[in-house]
Amino acid sequence: MSLSTVLTEKTVAVGLVARDKRGVIEELLDLLVKAGAIADKSSALEAVLERERAMSTGMKYGVAIPHGKTSSVSSLVACVGVSAEPIPFDSLDGEPSRVFIMTLSPPDKTGPHLQFLAEVSQLFKSEEKRASALAAKTPAELLSVIAI
């Protein structure tokens, strides 16, 4: 599983406008809806929010990986958004986030979901990758930074 197999320019956004956790999650879900990747936004939203209630997906270094399991997708789907402004996301290091990678997968498929989360976590350990993602001006630029 690589990011380039699940991401397209339609599922990558720079300049997110939301300014809070729920807003970011909804904005990312809108990307997936517009791309035709999810059938039911409200079901997907509830899955991600349920996961957030269990434990925040705000990681370290300004990166958050909201995710969930939902029957509104038939296989793993993902999107990425970058915000010019730091957004509070209850992160592990207490810092706000600017890079958001969302993934949704069906409840019965765990392997691809875990593999994706591990790959994303590894990718954004690199300060250079994070800086390049934040500097991207277009979805195409962002995609070229993160699609490995």
Identify the pLDDT of residue 38: 95
State the pairing for strand pair 97-105/63-64.
parallel
67 in Cβ contact with 103 (< 8 Å): yes
State the pairing for strand pair 77-87/97-105.
antiparallel
Domain limits, the chain: 3-146
Catalytic residues: 67
Distance separating alpha carbons of residues 101 and 104, to the nearest angstrom: 10
Q: Tell me the mean pLDDT per 10 residues along the chain, length 148.
A: 82 97 98 95 97 94 94 94 96 95 90 80 88 96 86
Distance separating alpha carbons of residues 17 and 83, to the nearest angstrom: 7
In terms of Cα–Cα distance, which of 2, 31, 4, 1 is closest to 16? 31
The CATH superfamily of 3-146 is: Mannitol-specific EII; Chain A (3.40.930.10)
Distance separating alpha carbons of residues 25 and 87, to the nearest angstrom: 12
Instruction: Name the burial class of residue 76, with classes exposed (0-12), middle (13-18) and buried (19+) by CB atoms within 10 angstroms of its CB.
Output: buried
